[in-house]
Amino acid sequence: MPFIPHTEQEIAEMLQAIGADDISALFEEIPSHLLANELTGVPEGMTEMEISRLMHARAAQHPQSVCFLGAGAYEHHIPAAVWEITTRGEYYSAYTPYQAEASQGTLQLVYEFQSMMTALTGMDVSNASMYDGATALAEAVLMAVRGNRKSKSRKILMPTTVHPTYRKTTRTIVQGQHIELCEVDYDPATGVTSLEAFKEKAGDDITAIVIQQPNFFGNLEAVDEITDWAHENNILVIAVANPLSLAILEAPGNWGSAGVDIACGDGQPLGAPMSAGGPYYGYLCCTQTLVRQMPGRIVGRTLDQDDKEGFVLTLQAREQHIRRSKATSNICTNQGLVVTASTIHMSILGASGLEKAAAACHANTMALVKQLSQIEGVDCAFESNYFHEAVLKINKPAVEVLVALAEKNILGGYDLSEAYPELGSAILVCATEMRTDEEISAYANALAEVCA
Amino acid sequence: MSDVPSELRYTASHEWIRDEGDGTVTIGITDHAQELLGDLVFVELPEVGADLTAGDACCVVESVKAASDVYAPLTGEVLEVNEMLAESPEIINDSAFDDGWLFKMQLSAEVELEELMDADEYEKEIED
């Protein structure tokens, strides 16, 4: 039974009121050859009991693999309290509430989230979140183009060490807006983008550059000198950063002498399960100068007429419901539920907990890389400092190696051959704080067998 | 009833234009426009040296209610912008026709001035 509350009689009355014979008359203007008839590929419905049985059977086919796979989404420990609190009735909403100010608790939580993100990134302001890291980068590029009024070129330098999917998403979103995304190659020896490579691509007028830290390979870019060079040339700097890494790495707001202009990334490492790809959320922070170019929701703290503290949605004047087609963005909301979990996650871990988690990730990945690179036929691809991921070159095709490892219930890493064919057979490996010494040794033994 | 000084020219999109008599003009938004917008909180001005064509969206005036474009009423080059507005956009609310001016332009074609509304026409426009 479809969940449509109208009775046949009500439908007939509504049709009569608008002078239509039947519901199909409402769709008359659609040419008949465009109409789908029977949906032949869709099976018959199942009862709840049947679907539950089917799903349990499917889940049982899925082995409990040990995960050394990262590439943008990471398996971290999420305290049980996080989702227990998040799913309480008071918090359990996916959406910024309508008549937002009536929901002071939600607004206060988002305000706390924004405060945590500005503390982590060292930036002046944060918004209430974006859909994911990739769309946050696209919005950051659009912000930079609006914000850098000295530059007329609408040209962005985008290193190939930025996450390949982020680059694709950004291209898709900005391509209709006469913005040129110009790729900058990395140094094949170090796996980072040299300042010289930026300088080579730079013409007279560049609007902004993007730097991902740690970059897609896990390596640490020379963020200070690149940021300073960009600012000396009136170029805005957009940082893409794993927010967990910022517990131990320098905050983008402190890169170089002035800090970056926009910082963004994916919030998944802060309390969101990997969950087959989502939902995650994006964070977006910027300097005070650019705050009016920032899309989405921003919650502010204020005093009411009785001088009592309260929270409000602020700086909304450029959103869609007011500016229509001239709005800063099509985003008019945030990732409410995941941000709620993330805020609770950060408050439970605290600054020291985040630092410990980040340091453990780094230590485990160091141990992993040390063991794996001792295997005959496996070598580190780059000589570089890294956070919690590294690239390994393998003497056999990456896809075969990963399939063989998967048969041993090990998710061995991310196959780089499609996005970076120049690396040959290479995989990106990651060991978060979740991995034990035994699991790391087991991976090394398995890989040695596979590569032998 | 808003004030509409007789010595100024106007547009239907609520800009006022003062002919300085030397091929330059001073441009702002009318008292009527600031009343509609309410308390102004931010003004985004054009770049000095920018070449504008009549009809270009060249400024944004933002109130607590809305952000509205200001359109270049004439074609020419931006000579100067009112720097005071960066810190104190409320000057426009207090003095739309005087201290609250937005920018000055060197005109490319002074004849365009003739196509603008005079005070009587503008007054009639905002009555409708």
Query: Which residues neighbour A417 within 8 Å (Cβ) at sequence distance 6 or greater?
Result: A397, A398, A399, A423, A424, A425, A426
- Is residue A301 within 8 A of residue A311, CB to CB? The reply is yes
- The reported pLDDT for the residue numbered A134 is 97
Give the architecture-level CATH label for domain B9-111: Beta Barrel (2.40)
Token representation of residue A174: 């900005």
Domain A80-344 has CATH 3.40.640.10: yes
Up-side HSE of residue A400: CA atoms within 13 Å toward CB?
9
Q: Give chain A's residues under pLDDT 50.
A: none
- The reported pLDDT for the residue numbered A451 is 92
- The reported pLDDT for the residue numbered A174 is 95
- Is residue A81 within 8 A of residue A321, CB to CB? The reply is no
User: Smallest Cβ distance to B67: which of A149, A150, A323?
Assistant: A323
- The reported pLDDT for the residue numbered B110 is 87
Short-list A200, A148, A222, CA closest to A179: A148
Beta bridge partners of A271: none
Q: pTM score > 0.90 for this model?
A: no
- The reported pLDDT for the residue numbered A97 is 67
- Is residue A287 within 8 A of residue A353, CB to CB? The reply is no
Token representation of residue A167: 């680059």
- Report the alpha-carbon distance of residue A347 to residue A359 in Å, rounded: 18
CA distance B66 to chain A (A): 4
Q: How far is CA A61 from the centre of its chain?
A: 29
- The reported pLDDT for the residue numbered A272 is 96
Which residues of chain B does A149 touch, with a Cβ-Cβ cutoff of 8 Å? 47
Up-side HSE of residue A100: CA atoms within 13 Å toward CB?
23
Q: Where do you find CATH 3.90.1150.10 in chain A?
A: 66-77+351-451
Cis-peptide, bond into residue A214, ω within 30° of zero: yes
Evaluated on CA atoms A46, A49, A52, A54, the torsion sign reads negative
Enter the CATH code of domain A66-77+351-451.
3.90.1150.10
- The reported pLDDT for the residue numbered A94 is 63
User: Smallest Cβ distance to A322: which of B44, B47, B67?
Assistant: B67
Cβ of B67 under 8 Å from any chain A Cβ? yes
Q: Give chain B's residues under pLDDT 70.
A: 1
Beta bridge partners of A264: A240, A284
Chain A interface residues facing chain B, Cβ-Cβ under 8 Å? 149-150, 292, 317-318, 322-323, 326
Which residues of chain A does B65 touch, with a Cβ-Cβ cutoff of 8 Å? 317, 322
Burial A164-196 (b: 16+ CB within 10 A, else e): bbbbebbeebbeeeebebeebebeeebbbbbee
Up-side HSE of residue A113: CA atoms within 13 Å toward CB?
33
Domain boundaries, chain B: 9-111
Q: Where do you find CATH 3.40.640.10 in chain A?
A: 80-344
Q: How far is CA B127 from the centre of its chain?
A: 19
- The reported pLDDT for the residue numbered B1 is 52
User: Smallest Cβ distance to B69: which of A150, A292, A326?
Assistant: A326
- Report the alpha-carbon distance of residue A1 to residue A144 in Å, rounded: 50
